[in-house]
Structure 1
Amino acid sequence: MMSEDSCGRKCCRVMYSCNWRQPSERKRKCSCCWLSVLTAVSLLTLFWMYVCLMAFNDREDVNWKAFSILKLWVNWFMVLIVIAAVLTIYCILLLVFALVQLALKEPLDLHCLHKLFLFLGVVFIALGTTGISLQWKKEWHTVLLSLQATAPFLQMGGVGALTLVSCLVFQCFQRTHRIASKILIMVVFAGVSVAIFLSPLLIQSPCLVEEKQLPPKPALIGHRGAPMLTPENTLMSFRRSVGCNVIAFETDVQLSKDRVPYLMHDHGSHFLRRTTDVLHKFPGKDFNHSTNLTWEELQELNAGDWFLKTDPFCSVSQLSEQEKKTAGNQSVPSLLQLLDLAKTHNTSVIFDLKNDDNNDTFDTVNTILKSGIPQDLILWLPPKHRVDVREVAPGFIQVYNDVSDMDLDRGDHLNVKYSALSATEIWELRSRNVSVNLWVVNEPWLFSLLWCSGANSVTTNACSLLQDMTQPDWTMRPDRYRMIWITVDLGSLLIMVTLFILQREREAKKGFSGWNQRELSLFLPSE
């Protein structure tokens, strides 16, 4: 045991309370309360860090929302991740020092500066949670979906953490003299233990599957090409996605003032501002709508230099000097140029029409038909004028973004967000020979989960990353998982029972030793 003034005690005391000296008796009384607060905030930061990591797949939504407000393209989500990581590490380290203090029987005197930082951390998480709930509700579906991929491992980690904490709980139980306090401690601990031990009964994951029942790997569709490696919606980007063996190019089509279909995602008040140098090229000109510029004017814009300057996916360093030069000289491509590329590589094309208020559908269809591309390579997604399009181009494959609309038209191609369907619904659609494409999937864990769920294809920004995956991140036979689950639970229970018995015997020996000393003092003569 360390002495009261040992170096180890002092260092631990400084880290936790920012004070070399022992705290006053008044401060000692609130130490347990602050330990509870610290534990709660640490769990809260872990939860928030988990939410941020699972939402990383959709980080572009956050960046786009920030851009629409600030008109400045920065990787805001990465800033959020860094803040969350620093906050989580800070709280966990503070909790570790608190547990060390407790093990050394040091009073838990949390410094006021730490209290302030904990308060600011709670405010930050509260604002983040409120922001998601108000502006990004669909992301909570992603968090729930992620549990199908992480819950088995979170449960095992929870069992391990419970086993480690049990030693301190049993120590507190043995040292408490009030019966009511003992009952409260054991009831709470037993309730938490039962919840963690039996939580696998509620865990359902499509990756708990026999290997022979694993569906084929989903095909890849390049979302605006390969935007993690090259500027989005440029010919360089689509050519790069060809190397990823994508089965289709996904893009967005708008029409110029002189009715030339071209590729551009941003529209409305954000039109051209993010991915071109339009502000520099046409200062003072009105370009809030696609028809404000002619095709000749659009060709004057640089559509790649922004990628090198902002490095939205932190991937520019992976490009060679020649590739950087090529990326910096990209222009806005026309739909016809993309169709020629798709025809050359026998690759399908699927797109959204960003503005269909001026008969964009018919000009777009005419451009496709004149290009000479086989009609079965066109995956027609825009719902407006679908009946008319089917009459003019019966060879187009009709793709729907709603199951009810698809069933009404007796279609067999569905394109929805990855969180819109459960694994059971995907399997049911597959049994009806419906091709299910899910968007936008960038992270390996999500791709693995959708692979196990039976998705036919996914639209992705990360085609180069997902292309290299030969199997899901993990799969496990259900019977093997049950065996591991039961073994881990029984092992933890055995360790905790052993710790409880040892702690009780230790406290009993201390009590017996104290009793012997009191008895002996009765027979010794007083001075």
Structure 2
Amino acid sequence: MAVLSWPTALHFFRMNKKRQVVVLALYLSVLFSLYLVPLGMYSPCIKEAGTLGPAPTLIGHRGAPMLAPENTLMSFEKAVESGGGGLETDVTIYDGVPFLMHDSTLRRTTNVAEVFPNRTHLDAAMFTWAEIQQLNAGSWFLLRDPFGTASSLSETDRSQAQNQSVPSLAQFLEVAAASGKLVLFDLRRPPYGHPYRRSYINATLQVIQAHINSSQVLWLPSEDRALVSGLDPALQQTSGLKASIQELKDDGISWLNLHYSTMSQQQIKLQSVNISTNLYVISQPWLYALAWCAGAQSITTNSVHILSSINQPLFLMQTPEEYTLMWILTDFVSAFLIFAIFTFHWRERGLPFVSGSRHTNDNGPYSKFRTLSDVWSISSVNVRPDLRSSPSSPSGPHLPTITEE
């Protein structure tokens, strides 16, 4: 605001009194508003000393999709190697074998158009496991380079990515079990007419119980939650919907899986009643810092390899008192600079008003801003007689040459 004060002051002293009053009132109103705005701002990183919790656990969103094709074993292994504390995926099923696939079709992340050209429009759940195993799930990553990171891969990684296939849920769980990582997945219900439309939950639970400790699994599907909880009480029931603390406790919810836009101080309150919060999808360090300050216990991210190297929030941690003091001091310094700028211009300008008309100090910096009306207002001018306009002049009237006496 102090920088904008210079041109404001520059033109302020060239206005008449009425305009000066209007401009000054408007300027001071805006200035006062800007001074007060920071004092009313909220940031989760404005905290009392010692209240910052531990860094959120990093859950790899479909693995490490910046380093390998999403939802492949290579992607999950890269997430583990990069320091991820959990793995997130999406599960679908056809002939009793749950497998990993996010999209409803296979077109984006496999070469289904080459292997089954007449079935590219079909739901992924309409392919048998034997057919799924025929597909390549990695070559698309090198061709499309979704995150602009494929060129940074080593030749070994590029070769490995090129030959990835669609993994089964069992293969995925084995990676998580071997590394002791949390598992978060969404389970897609098969379409009407599917042989496992009614039994897909039981088929999925059987695979979980056979390949991993159920306590490592954050069970996100909301359908038949009470039945699932009864069949496997060790599962960590996870909800994707916000609700009151009492409702969450009544439903046996131990985790909330929410979009990062819902971030608030409520995460800290939920933690006090043993309900943890996972925020998705956070891949930028600054957003990760906010989630950390807000008290999130974990985040789903595309960039485990980047966020795992951050040891503290990027923002300066301050107490509310320190933050308020900082802005009050900033306001005082700004007000002093603005006052100094206007004072400087007033002194250089000289007397801004004399009998209602403007007078310019020829030695001041404003002399070069004179207008044509200022020139015509000079009380005495000399006009060369031979250049005076004449009605009979064939070339028409001439503009006078004006010289000051």
Change (3 A) 1:512 1:264: closer
Distance 1:483 1:477, change over 3 A: same
Could you tell me how far apart the structure 1 residues matched to 2:126 and 2:270 are? 43
Deviates more, 1:192-201 or 1:179-188: 179-188
Task: Say yes or no: does 1:364 pair with 2:204.
Answer: yes
- Equivalent in 228, 241, 265 of residue 66 of structure 2: 228
| Distance apart, 1:464 and its partner CA | 0.8
Paired residue for 1:135?
none
SS in 2 for 1:503: helix
**Long gaps (5+) in structure 1:** 1-161
Instruction: Say which of 297, 305, 311 aligns to 1:464.
Output: 305
Task: Give the letter aligned to residue 501 of structure 1.
Answer: T
List aligned pairs for 1:257-406, cutoff 5 A: 258-267=95-104, 271-285=105-119, 287-357=121-191, 358-359=197-198, 360-371=200-211, 373-404=212-243, 405-406=247-248
How high is the TM-score relative to the length of structure 2? Answer: 0.82
Work out the CA distance in 2 between the residues paired with 1:512 and 1:348.
76
Which letter does structure 2 place at the counterpart of 1:307? F
CA distance in 1, matches of 2:127, 2:380: 101
Give the aligned residue type for 1:484.
M
Partner of 1:249: 87
CA RMSD of aligned residues (A): 2.4
Tell me if structure 2 keeps the 8 A contact 1:234–1:333. yes
Q: How has the CA–CA distance of structure 1 residues 400 and 469 changed in structure 2, closer, same or farther, with 3 Å as cutoff?
A: same
State the Cα deviation string for residues 136-171 of structure 1 (Å, max 9, x = none): xxxxxxxxxxxxxxxxxxxxxxxxxx1111111111
In terms of fraction of residues, the more helix-rich structure is 1
Shift of 1:509: 6.4
Following superposition, the deviation at residue 388 of structure 1 comes to: 1.8
Q: Distance in 1 between matches of 2:292 and 2:77?
A: 25
Correspondence for 2:342:
500
2:9 — aligned with what? 170
SS in 1 for 2:261: coil
CA distance in 2, matches of 1:314, 1:366: 39
Q: Number of matched residues?
A: 355
After superposition, the C-alpha distances for 1:336-376 in whole angstroms (9 at most, x for unaligned) are: 101111121122211101224513212111222233x2121
Given the alignment, which residue of 226, 244, 253 partners 1:411?
Answer: 253
Q: 1:362 is matched by which residue type in structure 2?
A: N
Within 5 Å, give how 1:94-133 maps onto structure 2: none
CA contact under 8 A between 2:125 and 2:190: conserved in structure 1?
Answer: no
Shift of 1:400: 1.5
Q: Distance in 1 between matches of 2:121 and 2:204?
A: 21
Q: Aligned partners of 1:406 and 1:334: how far apart in 2?
A: 32
- CA–CA distance in 1 between the matches of 2:121 and 2:380? 96
Give, in angstroms, the shift of residue 309 of structure 1.
Answer: 1.0
The alpha-carbon deviation at position 335 of structure 1 amounts to 0.3
Asked whether the equivalents of residues 101 and 124 of structure 2 are also in contact (C-alpha less than 8 Å), the reply is: no
Could you say which residue in structure 1 is the equivalent of 2:34? 196
Identity of aligned residues (%): 37
Greater relative contact order (Cα < 8 A, sep 6+):
2
SS of match in other structure, 1:212: coil
Q: In 1, Cα distance between the equivalents of 2:361 and 2:10? A: 18
| Contact preservation (8 Å) 1:401, 1:415 | yes
Deviation, structure 1 residue 422: 1.5
Structure 2 distance, partners of 1:186, 1:512, is 21
* Unmatched 5+ stretches in structure 2: 192-196, 353-358, 364-374, 382-403
Contact 1:218 1:456 in 2 (8 A): yes
CA distance in 1 between counterparts of 2:7 and 2:332 reads: 20
For 2:121 and 2:205, how far apart are their aligned partners in 1? 25
Report the 3-state secondary structure (helix = DSSP H, G, I; strand = E; otherwise coil) of the residue aligned with 1:499: helix
Residue 427 (structure 1) shift = 1.5
Match of 2:23 in 1: 185
Query: Residue 419 of structure 1 aligns to a residue in which SS?
Result: helix
Q: 1:436 aligns with which of 248, 271, 277?
A: 277
Shift of 1:473: 0.4
Q: Assess if the C-alpha contact under 8 Å between 2:263 and 2:294 holds in 1.
A: no
Distance 2:18 2:115 in 1: 76
CA contact (8 A) 1:286 1:292 kept: no
Q: Distance in 2 between matches of 1:355 and 1:446?
A: 32
Alpha-carbon distance in structure 1 between the residues aligned to 2:120 and 2:143: 25
Check the 8 A contact 2:236/2:253 in 1, yes or no.
Answer: no
CA contact (8 A) 1:406 1:414 kept: no
Asked whether the equivalents of residues 57 and 86 of structure 2 are also in contact (C-alpha less than 8 Å), the reply is no
What amino acid sits opposite 2:71 in the alignment? N
Normalised to the residue count of structure 1, the TM-score between the two structures is 0.64
SS in 2 for 1:175: coil
Partner in structure 2 of residue 239 of structure 1: 77
- Alpha-carbon distance in 2 for matches of 1:389, 1:504: 78
